[in-house]
Amino acid sequence: MVAGVAIYKSATENVISGSAQAVDQVRNWVYDQYPDAQLEGLSLEVGLHSLLMESVVKNMTMYLEKVDFKDLSVPLLSGVDAQIIEKAEDVKHHVINHLNNPSVWTQVMARLADCDVLVEVGPGTKLSEMAKKLYPEKSIIAINKRSDIDVLKKIVEPTTHTTPTEE
């Protein structure tokens, strides 16, 4: 049985991922310790950001050894440690770590405070929607289809490129 924090969403809200039995045990413990706690079940199709992904990590690591990564022309902000990734050697490491380590959403959002435009590259729009709640004044777009790129171009053409500040 395995369960652990998959996403640190805020000081009072986190996502737990793991086997059903282990998650039930965590739920029971939380209710025992915090009777007024509000818990909500999520329908997650995969165990991302958890130790359930260990076998995937093993296979992905072997596969990625064959991939030639290049330095990134657009910085990537790691969801695992909120660090900016630009170097090829860091990309592989962070791709692997993202599978079986928790996402630190609050730290990621803090790193984006100085940016004017936020881009989520698919699939889905969940992260963009969450970011819009925190930063309603920012231009935020999710790229899920080719036409989204045209919308993004219209947003960024009049602005200058800003990278999250290094800490």
159 in a structural domain:
yes
Q: Residue 162's pLDDT is what? A: 59
Is residue 127 a part of any domain in this protein? yes
- Per-range mean pLDDT, top range of 41-45, 118-122, 158-162: 118-122
Distances (CA, A) of 56 to 11, 84, 97, 158: 30, 24, 11, 42
Residue 118 bridge partners (DSSP): 140
pLDDT at 40: 85
How do beta strands 84-85 and 3-8 pair?
A: unpaired
Question: Is residue 81 in some structural domain?
Answer: no
Give the total number of structural domains in the chain: 1
Classify residue 98: in a domain, yes or no: no
pLDDT score of 161 more than 60 = no
- Alpha-helical (H) ranges within 65-136 are 88-100, 105-111, 126-134
Residue 154: inside a domain: yes
Predicted confidence at residue 98, as pLDDT, reads 86
Residue 121 lies in domain: 113-167
In a domain, 156, yes or no: yes
Average pLDDT of the chain is 86
> 133 forms bridges with which residues in the sheet?
none
| Model pLDDT, residue 17 | 85
Q: Are 25 and 33 in contact (CB under 8 A)?
A: no
Is residue 95 included in any domain, yes or no?
A: no
Residue 136 in domain: yes
Nearest by Cα to 127 from 137, 118, 136: 118
pLDDT at 20 over 90: no
